[in-house]
Amino acid sequence: MKYTVKQVADMSGISTRTLRYYDQIDLLKPAKHSDSGYRLYEEKELNRLQQILLYRSLGMKLEQIQSVLDDPTFHTLTALKEHQRKLEVEKEKINQLLATVKKTIQYTKGEIKMTAEEKFEGFKKERLEENERLYGEEIREKYGKETIEKSNKKFMDLSEADFQEMQRIEDELFKKLEQLTTTKDLEAPEAKEVYELHKKWLMYSWPNYSAEAHKGLVQMYLADERFAKYYNSRAGKEVVSLLHDAVVKYAKD
């Protein structure tokens, strides 16, 4: 069966202009053109469009989507399963936040009592889920499943005051890292403060501390671009190497 641009637009919810643009950039070419020159799409193109929209919903840029779909190793079923996994993670995160918002509304209306811990539970779960999604496999491989589970439990058991203090310490860490970028002097007081703040921040979730583990963690920051991206993006400049060097220099059991 063949579909016109308008029919595909109506089915998919995107504009005919967008479909024409996808054709222009070779992201989604029609199967053929009619005798009158109209674009016609078939089942294969509809399947590709579904993939495009799924990747777009995950925040991918069009160039990235095209690169993925045109990769000869691309496998539709594998991609769909990965989409499902990511959407389920997102669904769980939204459900947790909705539960917190619902409780907060009831609390504000005086219908229920809400503990300080409950007010922050959704945010802690959201952060933990994000960390699990991004780094769960790597950190389990490095530190072991039992250690990570203990760490996660310690984080979820944080009181409101501890959770807020952990956030404050992280903010202070980035201020010191920014100061250190001006000199890059590991003998400067800021370098030791960077190490101390990072250690203090870790202790809110680490069940046990060791200098060796701390050094191993910042080595992972340096080696894995996802870790590096978090620190460098938040600071707005390259800081992860300074964090690594400061910890390696000052971390001692």
d(CA 100, CA 103): 5
Spatial contact of 191 and 185, defined as CB atoms under 8 Å apart: yes
Sign, CA torsion 245/247/250/253: negative
3-state helix, strand, coil in the chain (%, to 5): 75, 5, 25
Q: What is the pLDDT of residue 101?
A: 73
Q: For the chain, state the CA radius of gyration.
A: 24
Which residues are 40's β-sheet partners? 4, 32
Give me the residue spans of the domains in the chain.
Answer: 3-69, 76-136, 159-250
Spatial contact of 42 and 31, defined as CB atoms under 8 Å apart: yes
89-144 pLDDT tens trace? 778 777 777 777 777 677 677 776 766 566 566 666 666 766 676 667 777 777 77
Q: What angle do CA 246, 247, 248 make, to 5 degrees?
A: 95
This prediction's pTM: 0.50
Q: What is the pLDDT of residue 117?
A: 60
Confidence of residue 224 (pLDDT cuts 50, 70, 90): confident
Q: Which residue has the higher pLDDT, 96 or 161?
A: 161
CATH of region 3-69, choose from 1.10.1660.10, 3.30.160.100, 3.40.50.720, 3.40.50.300: 1.10.1660.10
Average pLDDT, the chain: 84
Tokens, residue 172 = 């202070």
Mean pLDDT, residues 241-247: 95
- Residue 187: pLDDT above 90? yes
